Structure 1
Amino acid sequence: MPRTCLALLMVLTALSIPALSIPALSIPAAAQATAAPNCDTPAVTTYGPASVTGAIVGATVHEGHAYVVSRGPKPPVVAEIDLATRKVTRTATLPDGPAAGEPEGGWATAVAGGKLYIGTYPVPDLYSYDLATGQVAHLHSFGANGGFVWSMAAAPDGTLYLGTSSDGRLWEYVPSTGAIRRYGVLVQGEHYVRAVAADETTAYVGLLEKAKLMAVDRVSGAVRELAQGPAAVGTVSLHGDRVLAASGSTLIDVRKDGTDRRQFEAGVGIIDAFEVAPDGLVYLTSRPDGAVYSYRTGQDAVTKVADPPSRGEETRALKLAGQQLIGFAGSGGMWWLDLPSRTSEFVDLIEAGFPAGAERTQSMLLVPNRALYIGGHFAVEVRDLRTGKQRRVRVVGEPKAMVRRGDKIYAALYPSGQIISIDVHTDEVRGLGYIGHDQSRPWDIEHDPVTDTILVASAPTGAKLKGALTVLDPDTGKMDVYPDVIPDQSLMSLSVDSKRGVVYLGGDVLGGGGTPPTKTTASIAAFDLKQRKVVWQIDPLPNHRTFQDLKVHNGLLYAVYKRVLGAWIALDPATGTIKHQGLLSGHGELQVHKGRVFTSTYFGGGNAYELGSQAKLLATGLGDEWHTNPQLQFEPGSFDAWTIVGRDLAKVRLDPRCPPVQIPSP
């Protein structure tokens, strides 16, 4: 599909008339219900990128221009935006570096010596973008595939300081010589340096898991603790002799020598960006609301400046230009807030000329004979199966899981933990509330027709172990949350057994991943939906730490494990005995269709299986491009399943009566 068409699709509003028409995507189920297998027809049909995005991560301002880096597409795009015209004037892509893996975005940006420096993920690499020529160069790799350069700051002399994961280290890079220095361990057991600022002598570092604000002497490497927060220290800024930091919704204001620490709960959500005016007035934004506040040293509270210029957004950066505050919205936008009048203007970066690109799919849901809903970053792409047209519905987060109840789609969003509904007729989005209880990763969602409730399994972020089961009444909005329902485990999955009146829960002993687990084996628990309590709990396979998905079918509970590659079981919940088990090429979600259990998996190139007494391979070559977990959405009456191949939407024949489908590599 031409890039210009993709860009046009991205700017359509939820209720606009779609501008692109492609052939109708579905085959009537009735025509396939009784048909004999036809294994000679094309087994795979693709329909272009499943989800496209203009989302950004790293952002900064320099001499009348803004610079942003894309999130999700490969290769990442760096764009220059003229602040006067509010249009994209130049773009470039970041080439793949020598390390294994490919960059998909750049969280960290800094300007020094006429160049923009960019730190990438999921390969922790450093690039430069020459502000005069637009040329891009790869400079250094800080670790293996799976790592991040989370943060970067330029000291007054132009030396760069970078924070990385999963090693949890601070690095120094000298642009004039290319010299690299890795500082020592900041705090034992820390894996994420989430924020960095630097002055003439010291680098100031925010840690995620240990929730500490640290100072590191640039020459000696000596480490001092400046403050302990209640949550991840994700934002650090400097003004004069003071260091400002945010630990969740707690604001920390301390002298650089560690004295006169002022620390208080701001009560505004998670503080995600600072900008300090020349007179010392601090502007800050919070999420999930996206509002703007101010603060000055000596105060014990923040003051609201303006309503959210882009509601529900994470602000990637704040910059002050005269009497205007410029904000960068993670979904792919910029806003200008006029401080005297407190009025704001929002500009969609794609409309401004930022190139959209194919992203990893978060989730997928089929409404048979009507539409396919595809979760992306801050949007749900809707493909009309009757006309082939598509449109985008804006949501304030990543839909990690979706389920249908009547005329509404219910989605659980990361990172806010919000549950929303989308009307299938009007595309109206309605917020139903937030899970809370430190739950930011809602991994699974189902509808129980007997109690008519929406059930959500979730996990915390960072150094926490306790997940939660949420039971939502979709009519009243009443939300009952049961934290730590499996003690010291987060929840990765659930499956409703309406006949027994229970929901089965799949645990993960690692929780948010930032603290040592207290258990060695992941549990399955049965939660009685009438009594609202766990009635039994078992640990099926010793030393298997994480369930990826559960699905009950014909009296058996099928389960796929995540961290032990490809392990699966079929469990009799009445007796706790394992009836079948085996190994797959990886992990993914389970789907029951036509009296059979199916799964598709990461790794090994992306495969699909039928699970019974053993696993039967149905397809290979689907790719490993899901953002969350590989999923299948079957057309009723057939063995054709919607999924993705690479990053393209695809319909794949998964008929167990046919030979395995072999999809060639692109």
Structure 2
Amino acid sequence: MRTPRLVCALFTVLALLGPAMVAPRAQAVTDPGLVDLGPAMSATDVGAIGAGPDFKGGGLVYVTTSGHPPTFTVLDAETNEVVYQQTMPGDEFVSSNVIDTKAGLTYFSFRSNRTTQIWVYDVATNTVEEVVQACRDCEIGEPVFRIFEVADDGTLYMASYPNASVYSYNPETKAVRNYGPAFTDGEYLWGLTMVGDQVFVGSGNGPGLGRLFQLDPVSGEYTQVQFAEGAQTPRVIGELQSVGSVVVVPMKGDANPIHLYDSNTGEWVCPGLQAPGFPQPTDAFDEDPIDGQLYFRSVDKIWRLDVAACSYTEVFDLAANGLDDRVWSGVKAIPTGPVDDPDLWRLITFATDGESLVINPADGTYELRESNVLPSPVSTHTVGIGPDGNLYVGAFLSPYVMGRLDPDTNELTVLTGPEQSDSTTTVGDHVVVTSYPGAVVHSGKVEEPWDWGTNPRKIFDGVAEEQDRIFEVVDADGLAVLGSIPKYGLLSGAITVLDPATGDSQIYRGIIGDLSVGALAYRGGVVYVGTTVHGGAGSKPDPAAEGMIATFDMRTRTITHSTVAVPGSNTVGGLAFGRGELWGMTDSGVLFRYDTRGHQVVETVAVPGAGGGTNWGRLPELKFNEADGLFYGLSATRQLFSFDSRNNQVRIIDDENDLKGLQVMPSGRIYAINETNIFYYDPIS
């Protein structure tokens, strides 16, 4: 608990150029304090898995979980007993890939949006050590590495975001080399594999951005590999793999989702071989072919690819075995026998809750094993209020859970839900939950038993209009108005009007040009829209674009007015009515009052230290509290503050807990979340 401090907003008179920015007066305030209720939810959320030899003739299975903090578990492949477990230190919470090596060193990594940390597990000593961290200020000066590979000499090759660059790192000499971007048309490298001493990377994500490149680590030169005749340039090159000299190239967007490229001859081989499907989910392949056989998952089936025979063989059908009601990881091959010439013992895949499925590929028999994976707190993502007055907590890349908190007791019940809930809103008597990817909407009745998929049930998705994320939903007299962000690499969000009872919808993409929706408010037949210049991740907005406030007429379904909210701002992330006035907040840390009759900004107040970068209007947030007549908000820099529009007084309540989600309950109590925990604040107690 910490005591808030009073701050004065900056004073600027814009004279003829615009409205006055009024300075708040400092005044002593008594504050009841911010109470930390602790982690919202804890669960096992399996991320990446791997399998390799135990150097005693058997196999080991590696499992990482995403969470705050994440965990690492090593299991005996035959007995399912724990060999090693650790809760991992650091701020990274999303697991990436796991790579075992014949040297007895298994590498694994975790990342956040600011750093990536690579670790190594030593099979012989049963210990874990840090390898290298990447961040803006680190020797490897980029924050996010989604994939990496380990060369035979132990050198790590890593693909970065957002600069689509390849780096190498030698753990022995600590030498770092930046090979620069593979291309400059996009920001993502999704695939990386090695054939001999050559590195192959695949790019994306957006129309025409899927390309294959060969990197010579000696010369540092990239060469784009031209696709086979008739192949369509895909949106993305997926998880690359290699079998001998052949590179396995998943191509999302081509009629044949897997192509095979022989790096020795420079030819695309096995022409006419139709793949059974695009490899999915992420980490769908086993990375260590045994006897030239490569195993992978595509939707509900596990397949074997024999490159030499140019054939695919179905190995296991999850649906046919009644196992398609679970969310399973990719598949890994467990070796047995000598390290240099192993045989295949079993295949393994994990459910998100840590239960594993061990399959005998010879006869299709299988065994389900209970979880021995170390759990961790789930990453929270959003908070919203349901028709029952409870607080609903959405999770980020979760094991398909969300939470429901009773504000009378502060007790939280874990519910089934989407992997990533982007918002929860009351619309009429329905609870409306949006989720990523695909801009999906579920609607349900809280007085009926909660059964995700049935109640709430799916009533909408934005796939047809290439929408991916819905962070903003507002109740417009019983209709849900949705504000969305497009898919990777694209600009132009959408406003959608949706009936939560029937699922009837009308979607208006591009109605605000190349902008997307960062905030919504509703009153009297008009939806007030705050915009953001940002589109899908990897998109490139117009450098001159600015955050706007616009009006959407529910009768005509058109934008009737629009104006720049605060010059120089990219995003209007919060809009709220209070005391008959509409106030908003920008990513630059400026509160503004919008005249709903004159359709112009008439007053602005700058909050010190509140300006910062933000994605898609997730922050800032602004809510009005009827109980005490004050606005409450979260800035782009994650300050929790109150704002009195009668005297323009701003008071910082918290700037230490890195808060990112906010709701004001009808009682006046305020709830907020950070990466894992729930907080509450009683301003009138």
**CA deviation vs aligned residue, 1:82-135 (integer Å, no higher than 9, x gap):** 333335442123344xxxxx3224313222322222233221232222223332
Distance 1:533 1:320 in 2: 58
Structure 2 vs 1, CA of residues 301 and 91 (structure 1 numbering), >3 Å: closer, same or farther? Answer: closer
Residue 71 (1) aligns with residue 66 (2): yes
Distance 1:591 1:559 in 2: 9
Q: Secondary structure at the match of 1:631?
A: strand
TM, length-normalised to structure 1: 0.79
Structure 2 vs 1, CA of residues 190 and 373 (structure 1 numbering), >3 Å: closer, same or farther? Answer: same
Shift in Å, 1:412: 0.6
- Partner residue in 2 for 1:510: 534
- Partner residue in 2 for 1:410: 432
Residue 86 (1) aligns with residue 80 (2): yes
- Partner residue in 2 for 1:372: 391
Shift in Å, 1:267: 7.2
Answer whether contact 1:383 1:389 (CA < 8 A) is retained: yes
- Partner residue in 1 for 2:8: none
Shift in Å, 1:362: 0.9
Distance 1:541 1:301 in 2: 58
Structure 2 vs 1, CA of residues 336 and 435 (structure 1 numbering), >3 Å: closer, same or farther? Answer: farther
1:394 maps to a residue whose letter is T
Distance 2:353 2:561 in 1: 42
- Partner residue in 1 for 2:201: 205
**CA deviation vs aligned residue, 1:182-240 (integer Å, no higher than 9, x gap):** 21331125433332111212111122344322111132222111257432334111123
| Among 664, 669, 676, the residue aligned to 1:633 | 664
- Partner residue in 2 for 1:25: none
- Partner residue in 2 for 1:648: 677
Answer whether contact 1:568 1:583 (CA < 8 A) is retained: yes
Distance 1:466 1:402 in 2: 23
Shift in Å, 1:511: 0.7
Answer whether contact 1:156 1:199 (CA < 8 A) is retained: no
Structure 2 vs 1, CA of residues 182 and 576 (structure 1 numbering), >3 Å: closer, same or farther? Answer: same
Shift in Å, 1:414: 1.5
Judge which range, 470-479 or 269-278, deviates more. 269-278
Distance 1:359 1:215 in 2: 38
Answer whether contact 2:356 2:371 (CA < 8 A) is retained: no
1:362 maps to a residue whose letter is H
Distance 1:346 1:505 in 2: 50
- Partner residue in 1 for 2:517: 491
Residue 454 (1) aligns with residue 480 (2): yes
Structure 2 vs 1, CA of residues 159 and 81 (structure 1 numbering), >3 Å: closer, same or farther? Answer: same
- Partner residue in 1 for 2:246: 242
- Partner residue in 2 for 1:573: 596
- Partner residue in 2 for 1:259: 267
Counterparts of residues 67-466 of structure 1 (less than 5 Å): 67-74=62-69, 76-96=70-90, 102-112=91-101, 113-122=103-112, 123-144=115-136, 147-188=143-184, 190-209=186-205, 210-226=209-225, 229-248=233-252, 250=254, 251-257=257-263, 258-260=266-268, 272=282, 273-275=284-286, 283-285=295-297, 292=302, 306-307=317-318, 309=323, 311=325, 313=327, 315=329, 318-319=332-333, 322=344, 324-329=346-351, 334-336=356-358, 352-367=371-386, 371-376=390-395, 377=398, 378-385=400-407, 389-405=411-427, 408-424=430-446, 425-429=448-452, 430-436=457-463, 437-449=465-477, 452-466=478-492
Distance 2:169 2:380 in 1: 35
Q: Secondary structure at the match of 1:133?
A: coil
Answer whether contact 2:249 2:258 (CA < 8 A) is retained: yes
Counterparts of residues 534-573 of structure 1 (less than 5 Å): 534-553=559-578, 556-562=581-587, 564=588, 566-573=589-596
| Among 482, 489, 505, the residue aligned to 1:479 | 505
Distance 1:367 1:139 in 2: 45
Answer whether contact 1:47 1:650 (CA < 8 A) is retained: yes
Distance 1:230 1:383 in 2: 44
Distance 2:504 2:314 in 1: 31
If you compute each CA radius of gyration, which structure gives the higher value, 1 or 2? Answer: 2
RMSD: 3.6
* Count of aligned positions: 597
2:598 maps to a residue whose letter is T
**CA deviation vs aligned residue, 1:376-407 (integer Å, no higher than 9, x gap):** 12211123445654331122321111012466
2:469 maps to a residue whose letter is R
Shift in Å, 1:608: 1.9
2:504 maps to a residue whose letter is K
- Partner residue in 2 for 1:600: 633
Answer whether contact 1:69 1:105 (CA < 8 A) is retained: no
Distance 1:475 1:302 in 2: 44
Answer whether contact 2:641 2:654 (CA < 8 A) is retained: no
Distance 1:354 1:346 in 2: 14
Instruction: Name the % identity.
Output: 21
Structure 2 vs 1, CA of residues 318 and 598 (structure 1 numbering), >3 Å: closer, same or farther? Answer: farther
- Partner residue in 1 for 2:553: 528
Answer whether contact 1:310 1:335 (CA < 8 A) is retained: no
Residue 60 (1) aligns with residue 50 (2): yes
Structure 2 vs 1, CA of residues 333 and 398 (structure 1 numbering), >3 Å: closer, same or farther? Answer: farther
2:414 maps to a residue whose letter is R
Shift in Å, 1:316: 5.5
Answer whether contact 2:302 2:331 (CA < 8 A) is retained: no
2:64 maps to a residue whose letter is V
Structure 2 vs 1, CA of residues 169 and 346 (structure 1 numbering), >3 Å: closer, same or farther? Answer: farther
**CA deviation vs aligned residue, 1:42-94 (integer Å, no higher than 9, x gap):** 534332212334223332111222212222313x3211123333354421233
Unpaired segments ≥5 residues, structure 1: 1-38, 97-101, 659-666
Structure 2 vs 1, CA of residues 314 and 168 (structure 1 numbering), >3 Å: closer, same or farther? Answer: farther
Distance 2:442 2:364 in 1: 29
Answer whether contact 2:380 2:677 (CA < 8 A) is retained: no
Distance 1:324 1:352 in 2: 18
Q: Secondary structure at the match of 1:446?
A: strand
Structure 2 vs 1, CA of residues 193 and 372 (structure 1 numbering), >3 Å: closer, same or farther? Answer: same
Structure 2 vs 1, CA of residues 312 and 590 (structure 1 numbering), >3 Å: closer, same or farther? Answer: farther
Give the number of the structure with larger relative contact order, counting CA–CA contacts within 8 Å between residues 6 or more apart: 2
Distance 1:406 1:87 in 2: 51
Distance 2:426 2:126 in 1: 47
Distance 2:312 2:522 in 1: 45
Answer whether contact 2:190 2:238 (CA < 8 A) is retained: yes
Answer whether contact 2:279 2:285 (CA < 8 A) is retained: no
Answer whether contact 1:588 1:631 (CA < 8 A) is retained: no
1:129 maps to a residue whose letter is Y
Residue 590 (1) aligns with residue 619 (2): no
2:188 maps to a residue whose letter is Y
Judge which range, 151-160 or 313-322, deviates more. 313-322
Answer whether contact 1:470 1:480 (CA < 8 A) is retained: yes
Unpaired segments ≥5 residues, structure 2: 1-28, 54-58, 228-232, 336-343, 611-618
2:164 maps to a residue whose letter is G
Distance 1:354 1:136 in 2: 17
Distance 2:312 2:497 in 1: 35
Answer whether contact 1:520 1:542 (CA < 8 A) is retained: no
Distance 1:249 1:336 in 2: 32
Structure 2 vs 1, CA of residues 256 and 541 (structure 1 numbering), >3 Å: closer, same or farther? Answer: farther
- Partner residue in 1 for 2:19: none
Distance 2:658 2:604 in 1: 27
Distance 1:269 1:505 in 2: 39
- Partner residue in 2 for 1:9: none
